[in-house]
Amino acid sequence: MPLYLALICVGALLAVSVYAIVQRRNPDISRNVYRLCIALCGVLFLAAVMPRGAHVVSTTLPLGLPWIGMHFRIDVLSAFFLAVVNLGGAAASAYAIGYGAHEKDPMRVLPFYPAFLAGMNVVVLADDAFAFLVAWEFMSLASWALVLTHHHEAENRRAGFVYLLMASFGGFALLMAFGVLGGVGGAYDFASIRESTKEAWKSGLILALAMVGMGSKAGLAPLHIWLPLAHPAAPSHVSALMSGVMTKVAVYGFIRVVFDLLGPPAFWWSVEPMTFGAASALIGVLFATIQSDLKKLLAYSTIENIGIIFIALGLALAFKANGLALPAALAFTAALFHVFNHSLFKSLLFFGAGAVLSGSGERSIERLGGLIHSMPKTAFLFLGGCVAISALPPLNGFVSEWLVFQAILLSPSLPQWTVKLLVPAIGVALALSAALGAGCYIRAYGVAFLGRPRSEAARVAQDPDRWSLGTMAALLALCLLAGLLPSLLIDTISPAAKDFVGGRMPAQAELAWLSIAPIAQSRSSYNGLLVFVFILFSAYSAKWVIHKFGSSRSRRAPAWDCGYIEKSPTTQYTASSFAQPIRRTLGVIAFSVRERLDMPAPGEMRAARLSVDIKDRIFDYLYAPLTRAVETCASGLNILGLLSIQEYLALVFGALVFLLVLVAI
Amino acid sequence: MTFLFDLMAQGVQMLLVLALAPLLIGFIRKMKARLLRRKGPPIIQPWRDLIRLLRKEVVLAENASWLYRSAPYLIFAMTWVAASLAPTFATGLMFSWSADLIAIIALLGSARFFLALAGMDIGTSFGGIGSSREAMFGSLAEPATIMIVFTVSYIAGTTQLSEIAAFMAANLELRASVGMALVGLLIVAIAENGRVPVDNPATHLELTMVHEAMVLEYSGRYLALIELASALKLLLYISLIACVFFPVGLATHDADLHTMAIGLGAYILKLAIGGGALALFETSTAKMRVFRVPDFLGAGLMLGLLATLLVFVTRNL
């Protein structure tokens, strides 16, 4: 029943796409499309959470390849991700009812938006390689079209090109991965892939290909370069979907292949996700810290969070390989918890960035400031998102990071020295990225929302419409709920952990005071609700005491600033000056910086200039040589276009013989 | 009945840290003055200052927002909660399990987050300079702290402070890894509390200050709350060091009043020793340049990392 409902909704989403094209002259079309999307996402969400009767529900539809059809299936994992996708989808659609009204050319968004949602849903439901890959590519192409919404700007066209290139590269890697998984027998439905046995070298190859394929979509370093270009280029509600939801679909794909299809893991599988996860977390957050474009900053921070998720998944693999069911369940739960959290607060933050963009017309925080006065409601909601993503108690971001730390602290139980010593190092990277993340959001919020307005646009900016504000408020409420009552979410994830890593965390909802204790109370526990109540109680009792016995008078006066405040708002700390200490001390990990100071000679009247040139090392050392190599090969192969007919025939014959020999071996 | 007693013990701890924190500051100032052969203000002076500040009218900058006005309450509340959840005179108090060591560190991180934001709210250049430096120090000090947490939790097998203290008290032995973790934590504590050589709490010399630069615009009750919060933070760090590395005399939550009193005496003695050592250290060093601080904190981080590795190598976990 839930599966059919879900598939009908997916069909309906595609129909909405067609409806958008047919009704393109209708002035209400934008609103109608988004309303339909909310309704369909809502039903899909219900289909995900409703009781399924059987543990696993599957079906085959006569679509796609003849005689074989397409297989679909819902199990606990796909149900979880279905819920995440459609929660994000419904939120983005609700936000877009207001935000989409600003769109100059709605026909560049409306037909692709429901199709994008449908594509993500089918990926999660697919139960054979064919359906998975078709849906995957469908999702990529629909989002590519959305990235190109504002195609008049050259920067966006470049983003679209890089995205398409990386998406096809990733898709190619996935094709190979499923090819190796299916083997020569061509077993392409997941059930028979699960049955088949895989040799060690094959598993390693599949793991690497899955890392490349899923990692490129999720934004894992060093395959992340398209993400900070493409995500911000789309309209903000689509950016939220791409960053908050589509990256999670990639995480789902990784879990499906590595934890499910690939069979029982070996301990060395964990090394790859952990190291690349740690690298992504650090690189992502360092680049986020130096960005001045608000949406780019958020996109880089997505890379960081994906890194954290992959660290947790790697830990789960390491524990699972050694039969440590409880720690594996803890790490796996941490990963899924962070998936859920990130989909909430990243959507919230992108909506906030969209509100700032439509309210002031500015994306660069260097020209903003003081928005807390002109956009008070957005400022409050955005602050909530910043606290949540900076992993600060009592909001939800902290809970998932705390769970990851608890999993890291169980590493002494691992028998292999490689992993045992690797894990604390990963822990440093995680701690460093968490702390830098907080700094990054202090900077983003402080420069954009606090202080004095740096431009007229920032001074007269206005809060967005009620739909946008309502959606952001709902997401913040969910963040708070997940932070205060994490036990509910952990217990929801627990069946998935049981199926995929073979263990489950102790039931949390039964613990006293609704606290969480991953292993045992004597080992570690945390209670968000109590901490929150304590903070409120302390703050209010302090306020009460002070107002009763002290003074409650206040008076407004010009700022002091040690005696004299310069009137020009440009004398405030800018975003780049804020980031300078971090850039100098830690930046060398990720990028090379060249500062040039142009000092006028004594007596000369022109101003001094400081220019900072930041280069991405990954781009310089990995992609630039790659592009050069491709160019060299391409120009080398040019001569093949100028052969005579005899030479062509000889070439074809030779290739045929070579391939036959290969097959024979 | 035991429930009531437990609740009271927790309440006593909350009030105790609040009462002792300004006295600790006063004690350190007195010690520093004595070491410089000055007489110094009485130990009670910080409390007097606070009460005077609380009674004064607040002068708010014209463009101060609601964030600026609510931040002092939040900062104070978060620091106070963190300080009252760490063991001081007894372990295993009623709510001690609601936040483990990692959560306590993160609570201080939340307080830092709001303090740095409040520094940027008015839009002065000093506020920005303070917040920016605080963000840099924080992003190095936090991982260093987490590494030290790793070390002690690998050894004790838990992140609950009460359990760690009980384990350390039961297994008193000299370990190189614990020694390194102690030095690392001392470095972090000095940096986090803005003491010499990282920052000078007594200075208003404009370009060298970090903490003072952020709170430059605050006055009246808001300033009092922030000062109280920073005193609580210093007390919390000394309590942390005391309960993890010197868990002597700690009572348990179900002990009788006599043992509790001994625990209290031991705690006050530890605070005095900690404060005295800090005063001695501060009078014998000079403040370092801001861009030297990352090296200083980096040493803390490396010590934490080394200590963790040493735990693995020596204990064969």
With residues binned 3-state (H G I as helix, E B as strand, rest as coil), the percentages for chain B, rounded to 5, are 75, 5, 25
Torsion angle, alpha carbons of B220, B221, B222, B225, to 10: 130
The chain-wide mean pLDDT, for chain A, equals 91
pLDDT tops 80 at residue A435: yes
Confidence of residue A326 (pLDDT cuts 50, 70, 90): very high
CB contact under 8 A, A524 and B159: yes
CB contact under 8 A, A412 and B142: no
CB contact under 8 A, B131 and A446: yes
For the segment A281-296, the average pLDDT, to the nearest whole number, is 94
Residues of B in contact with A387 (CB under 8 A): 110, 113
Measured between CB atoms, which of A402, A428, A577 is closest to B103? Answer: A402
Report d(CA B105, CA B82) in Å as an integer: 8
Going through chain B in order, the beta strands assigned E by DSSP cover: 58-61, 90-91, 251-252
DSSP state at residue A398: H
Report d(CA B277, CA B271) in Å as an integer: 10
CB contact under 8 A, B117 and A443: no
- The answer to whether A418 contacts chain B (CB < 8 Å) is no
Which uninterrupted H or E stretch holds A596?
A: strand A591-598
Report d(CA A541, CA A638) in Å as an integer: 79
For the segment A618-643, the average pLDDT, to the nearest whole number, is 88
- The answer to whether A104 contacts chain B (CB < 8 Å) is no
CB contact under 8 A, B57 and A556: no
Residues of B in contact with A590 (CB under 8 A): none
Q: Which residue of A450, A519, A572 is the best one to mutate when testing the B interface, meaning the one whose CB has the most B CBs within 10 A? A: A450
In total, chain B counts a number of residues equal to 317
Size of interface A-B (CB pairs under 8 A): 278
**φ, ψ of residue A509 in degrees (nearest 5):** -65, -20
Residues of A in contact with B95 (CB under 8 A): 530, 534
Residue type, A141: L
CA-nearest residue of chain B to A431? B143
- Residue spans of the domains in chain B: they are 2-315
Which among A545-554, A615-624, B165-174, B251-260 has the top mean pLDDT? A545-554
Residues B208-262: pLDDT tens digits? 678 888 998 999 999 999 999 999 999 999 999 999 999 888 888 778 888 889 9
Report d(CA A145, CA A234) in Å as an integer: 9
**Nearest chain A CA: its distance from B249 CA (Å):** 21
pLDDT tops 90 at residue A286: yes
**Nearest chain A CA: its distance from B264 CA (Å):** 23
Neighbouring C-beta atoms of residue A585, cutoff 10 Å:
18
Which uninterrupted H or E stretch holds A203?
A: helix A200-218
Return the higher-pLDDT residue of A114 and B1: A114
Measured between CB atoms, which of A442, A524, A566 is closest to B131? Answer: A442
pLDDT tops 90 at residue A448: yes
Which uninterrupted H or E stretch holds A165?
A: helix A154-182
Report d(CA B77, CA A534) in Å as an integer: 8
Count CA atoms within 13 Å of residue A374 on its CB side. 23
Report d(CA A421, CA A650) in Å as an integer: 56
Minimal CA–CA distance to A129: which of A174, A189, A214, A191?
A189
- The answer to whether A445 contacts chain B (CB < 8 Å) is yes
Peptide bond into A394 cis (omega under 30): yes
Report d(CA B142, CA B188) in Å as an integer: 8
pLDDT tops 60 at residue B317: no
CB contact under 8 A, A555 and B57: yes
- The answer to whether A459 contacts chain B (CB < 8 Å) is no
Q: Which residue of B60, B129, B132 is the best one to mutate when testing the A interface, meaning the one whose CB has the most A CBs within 10 A? A: B132
- The answer to whether A327 contacts chain B (CB < 8 Å) is no
For the segment A33-50, the average pLDDT, to the nearest whole number, is 94
- Residue spans of the domains in chain A: they are 621-665
Neighbouring C-beta atoms of residue B289, cutoff 10 Å:
9
pLDDT tops 80 at residue A183: no
- The answer to whether A162 contacts chain B (CB < 8 Å) is no
pLDDT tops 90 at residue A539: yes
Residues B178-189: pLDDT tens digits? 999 999 999 999
Minimal CA–CA distance to A439: which of A583, A239, A612?
A583
- The answer to whether A150 contacts chain B (CB < 8 Å) is no
Give yes or no for a contact between A322 and A267, defined as CB atoms under 8 angstroms apart: yes
Per-residue pLDDT at A330: 94
CA-nearest residue of chain A to B147? A428
Residues in Cβ contact with B128 at an 8 Å cutoff, skipping those fewer than 6 apart: A446, A451, A572, A573, A577, A578, B119, B120
CA-nearest residue of chain B to A452? B123
DSSP state at residue A574: P
pLDDT tops 80 at residue A660: yes
Give yes or no for a contact between A472 and A348, defined as CB atoms under 8 angstroms apart: yes
Residue type, A628: R
DSSP state at residue A54: S
Q: Which two tokens stand for residue A458?
A: 């920032």
CA-nearest residue of chain A to B59? A555
Neighbouring C-beta atoms of residue A300, cutoff 10 Å:
26
**Is A393 in a helix, a strand, or coil?**
coil
Per-residue pLDDT at B197: 87
Give yes or no for a contact between B122 and B206, defined as CB atoms under 8 angstroms apart: no
Measured between CB atoms, which of A369, A421, A553 is closest to B123? Answer: A369
CA-nearest residue of chain B to A415? B317
Of the candidate ranges A311-320, A336-345, A400-409, A613-622, the one whose mean pLDDT is the lowest: A613-622
With residues binned 3-state (H G I as helix, E B as strand, rest as coil), the percentages for chain A, rounded to 5, are 75, 5, 20
For the segment A339-351, the average pLDDT, to the nearest whole number, is 96
pLDDT tops 80 at residue A340: yes
For the segment A245-256, the average pLDDT, to the nearest whole number, is 96
The chain-wide mean pLDDT, for chain B, equals 90
Q: Which of residues 562-581 of A touch B (CB under 8 A)?
A: 562, 565-566, 569, 571-573, 577-581
Minimal CA–CA distance to A278: which of A426, A421, A133, A377?
A426
Residues in Cβ contact with A653 at an 8 Å cutoff, skipping those fewer than 6 apart: none
Question: What are the Cα distances from residue B125, in Å, to A108, A569, A578, B122, B290?
Answer: 44, 10, 11, 9, 17
Minimal CA–CA distance to A515: which of A540, A498, A534, A543?
A534
pLDDT tops 70 at residue A538: yes
Report d(CA A449, CA B65) in Å as an integer: 10
Per-residue pLDDT at A444: 96
For the segment A292-315, the average pLDDT, to the nearest whole number, is 96
Residues A467-499: pLDDT tens digits? 999 999 999 999 999 999 999 999 999 989 999
Query: Facing residues of B99 across strands?
Result: A526
> What proportion of chain B, given as a percentage, has pLDDT over 70?
97
Per-residue pLDDT at B205: 61
Minimal CA–CA distance to B83: which of B194, B220, B193, B177?
B193
**Nearest chain A CA: its distance from B263 CA (Å):** 22
Per-residue pLDDT at A310: 97
CB contact under 8 A, B309 and A424: yes
CB contact under 8 A, A554 and B60: yes
**Is A645 in a helix, a strand, or coil?**
helix
Per-residue pLDDT at B1: 64
Residues of A in contact with B64 (CB under 8 A): 556
Report d(CA A228, CA A295) in Å as an integer: 8
CB neighbour class for A81 (10 Å; exposed up to 12, middle 13-18, buried from 19): buried
**Nearest chain B CA: its distance from A239 CA (Å):** 26
Confidence of residue B316 (pLDDT cuts 50, 70, 90): low
- Tell me chain A's radius of gyration from C-alpha atoms: 26
CA-nearest residue of chain B to A436? B139
Handedness of CA A160, A163, A165, A171 (dihedral sign): negative
Per-residue pLDDT at B206: 58
pLDDT tops 90 at residue A200: no
CB contact under 8 A, B126 and A562: yes
CB contact under 8 A, A562 and B216: yes
- Tell me chain B's radius of gyration from C-alpha atoms: 19
DSSP state at residue A301: H
Paired sense of beta strands B251-252 and B90-91, if any: parallel
Residues of A in contact with B116 (CB under 8 A): 442, 446
Which uninterrupted H or E stretch holds A255?
A: helix A247-255
For the segment A635-644, the average pLDDT, to the nearest whole number, is 85
For the segment A116-129, the average pLDDT, to the nearest whole number, is 95
Residues A76-117: pLDDT tens digits? 999 999 999 999 999 999 999 998 887 888 889 999 999 999
Give buried/exposed letters for A360-387 (b at 16+ CB in 10 A, else e): bebbbbbbbbbbbbbbeebbbbbbbbbb
For the segment A17-21, the average pLDDT, to the nearest whole number, is 94
DSSP state at residue A557: E
pLDDT tops 80 at residue A600: yes
Residues A207-235: pLDDT tens digits? 999 999 999 999 998 899 999 999 999 99
- The answer to whether A420 contacts chain B (CB < 8 Å) is yes
Helix axes of A294-321 and A486-501: crossing angle, nearest 10 degrees: 50
CB contact under 8 A, A527 and B154: no
Minimal CA–CA distance to A588: which of A617, A565, A622, A630?
A617
CB contact under 8 A, B98 and A562: no
For the segment B129-143, the average pLDDT, to the nearest whole number, is 92
CB contact under 8 A, B128 and A573: yes
Residues of B in contact with A571 (CB under 8 A): 125
DSSP state at residue A502: S
Measured between CB atoms, which of A390, A573, A584 is closest to B129? Answer: A573
CB contact under 8 A, B312 and A370: no
CB contact under 8 A, B99 and A582: no
In total, chain A counts a number of residues equal to 665
**Nearest chain B CA: its distance from A604 CA (Å):** 27
CB contact under 8 A, B55 and A582: no
